[in-house]
Chains A and B, each alone.
Chain A
Amino acid sequence: MPDELRIPADLIRRLPATFGPALNDQLRQSELLFPAERRQLEAQLKWLAQLPRAEFDKLFAPLVEVESRMDLHWESSAAGMSVRDVGILARSPLYPLWRTEVERVFARIDAAAEQPGDFQNLPRLLVCVLPAGLSVKDQPLWPELSAQGTWLSLDRPFGEMLPQFAAALAKRACPPGLEEDERTWVIESDTRLADLPGAAVLSWDDLATMRREFLRRLNAVHRDLRSVDQTTEELKRIDIARLVGPGIAANARLREFLRSLLLSGNGSLVFCNSFVEWGASEALRRAQPQVLIASFGIRQKLKPFSSVVLFEDQNRSNPAPDEGDPAGSLVDALELSTYVHLAVQRVVRRPERTLTLMASCDLNRVLVLGPSKPAAETNLTELALRWLA
């Protein structure tokens, strides 16, 4: 584990009050930050610490002024924000203005804070995969993205080559200095790539025990914010190593990433494809792996009645048989895979350095989105490896 982050003592005190709890939360768990997050945070704090006092005050003055009108009673030393705190902030009439100011401040900091090394310029690869069994031949796939990219023909359906393709990516030679946690990630609905050597893999199906435990506790939440905060705090503290496989249990960063993912909502506890989308988006933002494979699945049809309680186990007491929903899953996966691609544009510092492959297991062609158009006869694996080299 890396050393603890060192921060000039008075820096947090000088920051706007709304920054304190969030920053403290990150610092408290600094050893669990991914290398990319750590580099970013160190660069930001270093730049801020070296900023002349007058410029520092000028940078934050508009935000401090907005905060002073928001009737917030936060301590900058607080260790995090509760659901109640967030609610007070979000319903303030000044919230939109506060948000705009935060965006402005971060834009300035991120533009100025230089990160060490050449990691920002690495070529990166995103692969989004639709599962087998969808009616993908009946409709145009990703019509808007298709206008921006090139369809590359394959000699067989992508699903047949996925295991070998993923294996070739995972065992590629990586740039020096690139830590294991930032090389290859797989977020998948099933367990097809669960044992991929050299990759960090989160499989929805493999996480059933952990998901059930989280849902069980969340279902016990009473109808008040204190109960929500209390349950959230309990879930932040429980030992999840016993609820996951040995690979995740042994990797503290991955384990805590997973905990944070499932606690951050966005359907990650409820639907397999929401888990894949949100997990991939969060991995891109936080771990920033050089290669990310987001493999979607077929969601079960919601059962009559029990669907009103999404956080409950749909099978409990329900006589309706399990049934896949391929039509709905296709709609979901097309939209959510597009969202993963859009996440690259939003969170990756140089999105033009990311090659995106949009694939379907049942199709012998993939959509290539990137800076250059691949030749018609290009071998996909060679194309990907060459891009990453």
Chain B
Amino acid sequence: MTRRTLFRILAAAVSQRLGAVAPPARKPAKRIVLITLGGIRRQESWSEQGLRYIPHLYNHLLPQSLFYPYTVNEGVTSHFNTIASVLTGVWQHVDDWGGDKPGSPTLFHQFLAQTGAGPEQTWVVTSNKQLTANISPGVNVILSKQLMVEAVERIITAQSARARLEREQILQEMTAVLETDAERIGWGVPSESVFRDPEVKQTFLAALARFIRGNEAPATGDELTFLIAREVLQRLAPAMLMINFSDMEVAHSGSYSLHLGGITRADMACYRMWEFIRSTEALRDNTTMVIMNEFGRDPDGSSTNGFFNHRTDTESCRLAWTMVLGPASGKPAVVERPMRQIDLTPSIAAWMGFDCGKTPGSRLPEFHA
């Protein structure tokens, strides 16, 4: 009997219609874009040796941000539970695979209930397939990477007439999955009308086309997530958009170099998203963007195999960071006082002008209402 034994079981053409897209029915006065990143340790990010992997966050975004370098995850250091905790303001202890709903109302739910906004105002675009429609009632959940996974698997396993993993064939297959199987692969829409809306459909088709035909030959889940999220922001301009990047989670399979590559792509995606917001007139002055990692990862030499996993009750795993950009950030500052991830919930709600209910989290005084 050993400890481990016990723990083991443990389309570009489509985008030409951009100008023809009608604006959303009601323009929100304030918008929040919340970006969550998978597990990134301090030593591969905000440390002397880690800054090389986050050049945009460090050189371009930090100087204009409200930055909390000591953000603590006091809950379950798994993806669904962490994100559900941030969205509810209550540490969640539910099924990590997204099989359960969070035990408390989410920011999306409270926003919709209190403001009378329609479901077209709340979106989640995620690389992580665990963030199913269970994350919150009333929210549109787009499992972008899962769309590509489904298309690739159909081609590989000969379930499709398309036989090779070539860009145009993948585009056709993803479009087919989108048309017929989106719900089965975990996408969630609060009402069928949202998804049948030609404008919504065009949003996805345009993003897919950019992904396949883009000059930079993107190919990863996070690159597709970025393009879909940006298209959602540009065409639908919802009041609340949550984006999740998870390429760095290849760490679970033990490639350190690919893990670092995922961190660097997330750094670039965050920077490009903020640049897009800053360069879009309708978004520039009313959109706050929050970037946070869900947790760190396990320390080198740990019995859980270091960077591979995020299970230990250690500072390496529990210490995260939060960066706030835009109107809510006020004057750029680094706040060295520790904060909890659930403190973000009442802070976002207060800035957006609704009540997130009684939660254990404390509103951050630096987060401008």
Interface residues of A (CB under 8 A from B): 18-19, 21-23, 25-26, 37, 40-41, 44-45, 80-83, 85-87, 89-93, 95-96, 99-100, 102-103, 106, 219, 223-225, 264-268, 270-271, 273-274, 277-278, 281, 285, 299, 302-310, 312-313, 316-320, 325, 327-329, 331-332, 335-336, 338-339, 342-343, 345-346
Contact = CB atoms under 8 A, between A and B. Distances in A.
Question: Which 4 pairs show the lowest CB-CB distances between chains A and B?
Answer: A274-B254, A267-B254, A81-B9, A267-B253
B220 to A, nearest CB: 7
A316 B186 CA distance: 25
B2 interface: yes
A369 to B, nearest CB: 14
Contacts of B10: 81, 86, 89-90
Given A267-B255, A312-B152, A336-B256, 9 more contacts: A22-B8, A85-B9, A90-B311, A100-B313, A102-B7, A304-B165, A305-B148, A317-B156, A339-B300
Interface in B241-268: 250, 252-258, 260-261
A93 B91 contact: yes
Given A82-B9, A91-B76, A265-B252, A316 B166 contact: no
Nearest to A264: B8
Given A308-B220, A317-B163, A99 B7 contact: yes
Interface stretch (B188-196, B280-288, B302-310, B322-330): B302-310
A310 B250 contact: yes
A309 B153 contact: yes
B365 interface: no
B164 interface: yes
B78 interface: yes
Contact of A93 (B93, B129, B261): B93
A174 B322 CA distance: 56
B97 interface: yes
A273 B255 contact: yes
A306 B3 CA distance: 36
A271 B256 contact: no
B4 A319 contact: no
15 contacts: A81-B8, A90-B76, A90-B78, A91-B93, A95-B76, A225-B99, A266-B253, A266-B305, A266-B308, A306-B152, A308-B221, A309-B156, A318-B156, A332-B254, A339-B300
A317 B156 CA distance: 5
A86 B76 CA distance: 13
B152 A342 contact: no
B165 A319 contact: yes
Contacts of B307: 335
Interface in B272-325: 300-301, 303, 305-308, 311, 313
Contacts of A302: 258
Interface in B173-200: 186
Contacts of B260: 331
B4 A285 contact: yes
B3 A332 contact: no
A102 B3 contact: yes
Interface of B: 1-10, 76, 78, 81, 91, 93-97, 99, 129, 145, 148-149, 152-153, 155-156, 158, 163-166, 170, 186, 217, 219-221, 250, 252-258, 260-261, 300-301, 303, 305-308, 311, 313
Nearest to A281: B305
Given A23-B1, A91-B78, A305 B6 contact: no
Contacts of B164: 317-319
A281 to B, nearest CB: 7
A89 B6 CA distance: 11
Nearest to B145: A308
A339 B9 contact: no
A182 B303 CA distance: 22
Contacts of B9: 21-22, 25, 80-83, 85-86
Contact of B97 (A225, A305, A331, A339): A225
A19 B3 CA distance: 10
Nearest to A40: B2
Contacts of B156: 306, 309, 312-313, 316-318
A271 B257 contact: no
A268 B91 CA distance: 33
Given A90-B10, A308-B152, A339-B301, A44 B1 contact: yes
A332 B322 CA distance: 28
A308 B152 CA distance: 8
A21 B99 CA distance: 25
A167 B220 CA distance: 44
B249 to A, nearest CB: 11
Contact of B301 (A37, A45, A103, A342): A342
A285 B1 CA distance: 12
Most buried by A among B94, B129, B152: B152
B165 A18 contact: no
A22 B1 contact: yes
Contacts of A312: 152-153, 156
A332 B8 contact: no
Contacts of A102: 3, 6-7
Contact of A307 (B81, B93, B220): B220
A328 B255 contact: yes
A187 to B, nearest CB: 14
Contacts of B163: 317
